[in-house]
A and B are shown apart, each in its own frame.
Chain A
């Protein structure tokens, strides 16, 4: 027995859904709708244009909006007022359209442009991207999310201002003692920073010691005291205990961040692409002054 039609159908459906999600399609459909609306508007005698139906759902929406503001249900009188205002708005709206007030009005034009731009991106705001989409994003921006190399180390601090030769000598002498097996806990000057660091990445080291320190330790030998390394705080004698190489993170670990980044980038791209797609359907000529 063959199962072939099943998956094919599924794939077809998936493709259809994907196409339906395409912003370009939305623009086309929207264009058709606007066209249809314009055609329909021409027929002023159409009785449907003279009927305003305020559905139960509409009333519920109005009441819901009201309650969000006032934190209590409206009185019957207030509901009436809401409905009256809604009808008034609808009447004025339709009359304004008949009068063509939407045309050649800078404000309306700007408003509609804003709406179109919003349409291009609004679906994206609601949409929860599939894992595959985010995984693809993660893969193509791997460096951004890579778990950096982690360093475990001990450090002994020697207070030193830049160019302080005596401090450098003191650091050298201390290193000599440490190499000779002296107790590192008792060496050096006090510092309000960890002496014993476990699995810290470059960002964590930078936050505590500054970028120079973070950079310098990557080339130190493992297992022995070395240095001095200059940081934003002074000099440090460092015993690198362990270096754990970085690795690309699993999606589950960084999902929210990836989703935020994907959304921000996709939003910007859709806005540009959406406009470009519409623009492509126009022949734009810019007349030069002679």
Chain B
């Protein structure tokens, strides 16, 4: 039911009458299909739907040449190029490849690193303030050299940055501020020009890149506002403070002084070596109620999947979950720059599912759940090209754009001896937001409500409602109306129970019309018992070919099958289902303990991007390269609190 949306051109027409209703036995609504029009600024007010039941696709995490590491890796594309690509235009990549999305995105956050934003560009241009320093001069020369030289410069700079050994001119506040403020000003102007309410939303944002000792504590900052408000501040960077609490203080100050609204999204817990969801704060002190309240306030979402691995769960933490190994190879061995090897005791602080469980436990102690977040996916590409998905993967940086060599590209850390391989990178994810319109306000509000989900690049359509009296017959009617009127959508809290019995979850997943069929829907439940011990269970709740595939005694399902043809990089939708849906009752419900529920939807196996490279460019793939995956979507959780 893509319904209830109205194009900007239809504004003023009596479309409000399309409000929920007119549903059919077949579960289809009588509503207008989203019909985006070319009309943009001419339309003063974009009409909004009654319910946020329209899904908008976007990327919340993307770098351009304004990010110092990106330009060092060879990116020559600007925020404007990034915006043009996201809205569907053909753009020539940094290495000269013409690229275009199969389908445009609905929104984009250009999120360049605030640390020395624009300074890489100045280094490339040979700013005299930098050239007197021998290291910077060397990096400048390398940037003008071969692809290999460029990569050397990039790695040296990132190494120096993560270990606080940057050459002095890069830390000179005068330089950084002068360059930064002019870059920021230009970037805001560009983003404003491309923000087209009703058709394409361009958000103002940046990345706060705190990386103590190579451990990733990065956050994406997204503003709800335009340049009139955001232009009054300069982005906060980890050079000012690597402590994320200082970022929250800055965001709080921004809201108070401008009347604007802003949120932050952590990412890559998998590269934090236990710090992202630690039980202590940045200084090592135990978490307090105040910390919990502020974190919950400023960080309503977590980016759980992107090119540098998937941070939903880990086989060590979830030994009964046979799908937890997705996107772990290469990324669970150490921190961001692989300077420190990861040990098993760190894993619990790295992954989202464990964090959601810890959150329940902390709520028990502190009164507030600091880790009560919704889940999204993003690319984190440093190419200015938001190219999630295996078939069109443009590479995570300009040094590894499509070609025969990138799957076997090595990224070693000489000190630790650890190494990451090109094939281990994922193709990146997207964020889906349920919203009332395609505007900054409506989409940002959807993020704040956590009415969002993340995918690993596919555009499957995932709906989840929690309530106390959903029944299978609801799926035969207008289940969206039922969901909103008798329950809460993903990201919400179950209301107080009106009668005894377990909560009911109503879930519907529709395949990506350009993608693979669905294998199954799972519900991941986490809870904390009275002793403060956390638990989890993964339930298979709907799957394809239920007449042939039966749950065993342990609740496990036989695999869906495999149609991947590696020689041609193809698969067939002759297995799996186009749509799966169910109303599920928690069979193990204990009304006295806190719990959360989220959906994981799995597609049938499909070829990974290295296989496409092998077919297109004759790439020789390393023997241990992973060739297939079951791409997936993660909903934001719905929480149950006995005290609600």
Contact = CB atoms under 8 A, between A and B. Distances in A.
Most central of B475, B572, B573 by chain A CB within 10 Å: B573
A190 B578 contact: no
A184 B36 CA distance: 27
B2 A232 contact: no
Interface string B162-193: 00000000000000011001000000010001
Contacts of A156: 26
A111 B126 contact: yes
Contact of A204 (B34, B193, B517, B578): B34
B34 A254 contact: no
Q: For the side of the interface on A, what is the size category?
A: 35 or more
A259 B28 CA distance: 40
Contact of A199 (B7, B42, B514, B576): B7
B416 interface: no
A110 B40 contact: no
Interface in B4-61: 7, 9-10, 22, 24-42
Contact of B510 (A68, A108, A186, A233): A233
B514 A211 contact: yes
Interface string B567-593: 000001111111101000000000000
A264 B84 contact: yes
A242 B177 CA distance: 58
A161 B544 CA distance: 11
Nearest to A114: B125
Contacts of B579: 159, 190-192, 233
Nearest to A153: B33
Interface string A99-111: 0000000111011
A196 interface: yes
A150 interface: yes
Contacts of B80: 264
A106 B144 CA distance: 12
Contact of B1 (A187, A192, A263): A192
Contact of B41 (A71, A232, A255): A255
B40 A253 contact: yes
A157 B26 contact: yes
B36 A232 contact: no
A74 interface: no
B2 A193 contact: yes
A244 B572 CA distance: 36
Contact of A260 (B24, B181, B193): B193
B177 to A, nearest CB: 5
A196 B31 contact: yes
A207 interface: yes
Nearest to A111: B126
B475 A190 contact: yes
Contact of A161 (B33, B233, B476, B517): B517
Given A106-B126, A111-B125, A150-B35, A157 B28 contact: yes
B3 interface: yes
A192 B26 contact: no
Contacts, number: 179
Contacts of B357: none
Contacts of B10: 198-199
A162 B127 contact: no
Interface string B511-547: 1111101000000000000000000000000000000
A272 to B, nearest CB: 15
A111 B31 contact: no
B6 to A, nearest CB: 9
Given A107-B126, A194-B2, A233-B578, A249 B510 contact: no
B2 A256 contact: no
Contacts of B84: 260, 264
Nearest to B88: A203
Nearest to B508: A192
A103 B193 CA distance: 40
A224 interface: no
A4 interface: no
A215 B437 CA distance: 27
B128 A185 contact: no
A107 to B, nearest CB: 4
B103 A206 contact: yes
B196 interface: yes
Contacts of A201: 35-37
A108 to B, nearest CB: 7
Nearest first, the 8 A-B pairs at minimum CB distance are A232-B513, A195-B28, A190-B27, A210-B513, A185-B24, A198-B32, A196-B30, A197-B33
Given A192-B581, A194-B1, A195-B28, 4 more contacts: A125-B189, A186-B24, A198-B32, A211-B514
Interface of B: 1-3, 7, 9-10, 22, 24-42, 80, 84, 103-104, 125-128, 131, 140, 177-178, 181, 189, 193-194, 196, 233-234, 461, 463, 475-476, 508, 510-515, 517, 572-579, 581
